[in-house]
Structure 1
Amino acid sequence: MRKILVVGAGQSGLQLALGLQAHGYEVTLMSNRTADEIRTGRVMSTQVMFHTALQHERDLKLNFWEHRAPRIEGLGMSVAGPAAQRVVDWTGRLRGYAQSVDQRVKMAGWLEAFAQRGGRLVVHGAAVSDLDYFSRAYDLVLVAAGKGELVSMFARDAARSPHREPQRALAVAYVHGLAPRPECPDTDAMRCNLVPGVGELFVIPTLTLSGRADILFWEGVPGGPADVFQGVGSPAEHLSLMLGLMQRYTPWEYARATKAELTDARGTLVGRYAPTVRHPVAHLPGGGLALGVADVVVVNDPVTNQGANAAAKCAASYLASILERGEKEFDEAWMRATFDRYWESARHVTKWTNAMLGVPPEHVLNLIGAAGALPAVADRFAAGFDDPSDFEDFFYEPERTEAYLASLTGTHA
């Protein structure tokens, strides 16, 4: 029986560990926290997972909360103009519903399932010296801990990483008490509000520890009006700042949030990081190798809500590569080929995310505006959140955008 070590108990690490376990591998999982510590800790992300990523969970029978989490059937886009008026507003239909489950709920539950199914769980923060030791005892070492000392083992890929500094200041609040959306009161939809020069506000239906909730998520341009959360003293002050920004820049969202309350005292999060692609193989001091997983090797800004989706897709891709390898050695050539296989899909996420972090060019603004009058455009844009590769055909190049819109309107570019 092949022995595999997985370091990190997030979406990718746990999904991969549970998948390997289901296929008979002897898996050791290293987590820096117990399930109870995760469950009672601070929120970790704004995860919203689309159809393909959810299907990877279903394939492994890990969709424990599917019947409890809100079914997100649409994706809305609003653009703020002068005097905080909505100059664009539409909702595209998703081809398969999306869902969001607070990672405190999901990761704690998956961690318990891994242990109950006989997996070896080591609760310990891993250092490079630990991996150096373990690499001699395992056939494969997978690093899925996207923060801390271990990430530094994986060198930055400058050719694929155009940014060295964070492109957004991130602020999150999980809340109860949001009123239904007037334009679609009976349909759950994720909403992206673009505020030029300020940033983006996302509103995401979710399932948290206390049941149904919504995530308020500001992505502020660094140094701009929404970059005000660093050093905030209390959760209540954090929420007050978020609501104040909504009242000023997205009053249509604030109108729903006048009775919003935090789901719990640990329902807020602040952060920022530079989007980075790293080389996938780390050489350990003793000569061993480690393969980076998901955020360790490809971390994008959450402006396109792809983090948990990319992690699930990476875990599924790596699982397939490991199963296909059989009894052969997990050597460096195989590790690089395994990453390259995942990069075929991940590169589309990175390209799209980096494009959305910049000032939208005129043809993109025209495309977003056209979606208000052309439901097919709204639906296709929404579908791109599940399959970002489709943006290649109609998003990046003005000529392709114009040809696509012309094909729908019967006009000539």
Structure 2
Amino acid sequence: MRKILVVGAGQSGLQLALGLQSHGYEVTLMSNRTADEIRSGRVMSTQCMFHTALQHERDLQLNFWESQAPKIEGLGVSVAAPGSWGEGPAARVIDWVGRLDGYAQSVDQRVKMAGWMETFAQRGGQLVIHGAAVGDLDYFSRTYDLVLVSAGKGELVQMFARDPERSPYSEPQRALAVSYVHGLGPRPEHPDYDAVRCNLVPGVGELFVMPTLTTSGRADILFWEGIPGGPLDVFNGVKDPAEHLSLTLELMERFVPWEYARATKVELTDAGGVLSGRYAPTVRNPIGRLPSGGLVLGVADVVVANDPITGQGSNSASKCAAAYLAAILERGEKEFDEEWMRGAFQRYWETAQHVTKWTNAMLAPPPEHVLNLIGAAGQLPPVADRFANGFDDPADFENFFYEPEKTEAYLGSVTGA
């Protein structure tokens, strides 16, 4: 029986640990917190998982909350008229909803990670509650066939060198602020199904609104992404959850009053229902070298950390776990050497490269042909639907998003022009 150590109990680490466990591997999972500490702690992220990532969970029979979580059937985009918030209520110049081919879902990671961790232990997995340092891994690497690092923050990440060719940004491109709330009203234009709303405020940032399942049941996430130094970059140093929510709502009233109109009665789900911070999107070398010469393989956010503007974090984590699981199973009894590690990462990069390219494009001011595309989606439902489904399969954006000629050709094919 092959012995594998997984360090970090997030979406990717747990999905991979449970997947390996189901195939008879002897798996040890290291987490710096217990399931109870995770469940009662602060929210860790926003997350909206689309069809492909949800299917990876179903394939492993880990979709424990599928019947409880809201089924997100659409993805909407609104664009504020540039500068309209300066003199009176902001106006929308674009507003549409595309329908998803397969529904998406959001489950608060406090619920999911705690539940999965308990399942891993119940199924006989060895769970070690301990923060891991490089020295610990040096020791463990001699007793395990493979060490996987999926703890996306802290000292361990420094073992994986930044890949400058694949990391165009060296500074954070957005300041992030998240609030989990109860009491959000329905969208008046489409009250019959759930959708994620992407509100773009040119030159200022973005507000995302998504239904979720949290520790206290159904809720919604209000998520600001502010351009650093701009009017949304005001959450640094705000420690009080009530003040955080109040600030979130003030900014909604100013910049996206159509969303604020349904948020006048919201309250936080719990004192841990807020989060703020920022990080630079970074792709890293997938292999970490330990002081003793042993090698460890980086997983998900450790090796490919994108800004959450395109909602890909948990999706990418799930796809990484699925790619690595397949690579490990195919390896059989052979050694997990450096060449194998590079191949396993390359297998993941086949999908991750499209996420990185698209996310980095969305962080920049949109070129004219992209504005035309987003505008056309308001009149052409097939365009809205295709854009929405790109969140599940970002590779499709190669066909109609990046190059003006392809965008024009695609819009022409839809209108018959």
> Is 1:221 the equivalent of 2:247?
no
Amino acid at match of 1:79: V
SS at match of 1:290: strand
* CA displacement, residues 268-323 of structure 1 (integer Å, 9 cap, x when unaligned): 00010000000000110011110000000000000000000000000000000000
Which residue does 2:256 correspond to in 1? 250
State the distance in 1 between where 2:25 and 2:242 align: 46
Could you tell me which of 175, 189, 192 is aligned with 1:169? 175
Q: Which runs of 5+ in 2 are unaligned?
A: none
Structure 1 range deviating more: 401-410 or 302-311: 401-410
> Is 1:193 the equivalent of 2:199?
yes
Could you tell me which of 402, 405, 414 is aligned with 1:408? 414
> Is 1:371 the equivalent of 2:377?
yes
Could you tell me which of 137, 140, 147 is aligned with 1:141? 147
State the distance in 1 between where 2:117 and 2:155 align: 22
Query: What is the aligned-residue RMSD (CA, Å)?
Result: 0.4
TM-score (norm 1): 0.99
| CA shift for structure 1 position 370 | 0.1
State the distance in 2 between where 1:300 and 1:353 align: 7
| CA shift for structure 1 position 232 | 0.7
SS at match of 2:237: coil
Which residue does 1:262 correspond to in 2? 268
Could you tell me which of 335, 339, 344 is aligned with 1:329? 335
Which residue does 2:126 correspond to in 1? 120
Which residue does 1:272 correspond to in 2? 278
Could you tell me which of 399, 403, 406 is aligned with 1:393? 399
State the distance in 2 between where 1:67 and 1:236 align: 31
> Is 1:101 the equivalent of 2:107?
yes
- Aligned ranges 1:283-322 → 2 under 5 Å: 283-322=289-328
State the distance in 1 between where 2:289 and 2:44 align: 29
Number of equivalenced pairs: 411
Which residue does 1:67 correspond to in 2? 67
Which residue does 1:33 correspond to in 2? 33
SS at match of 1:77: strand
Amino acid at match of 1:288: G
Identity %: 81
Which residue does 2:19 correspond to in 1? 19
State the distance in 1 between where 2:180 and 2:392 align: 23
State the distance in 2 between where 1:49 and 1:27 align: 26
Which residue does 1:380 correspond to in 2? 386
| CA shift for structure 1 position 186 | 1.5
State the distance in 2 between where 1:207 and 1:282 align: 36
| CA shift for structure 1 position 409 | 1.0
* CA displacement, residues 316-340 of structure 1 (integer Å, 9 cap, x when unaligned): 0000000000000000000001101
State the distance in 2 between where 1:395 and 1:70 align: 29
TM-score (norm 2): 0.98
Dislocated runs of 4+, deviation >2 Å: none
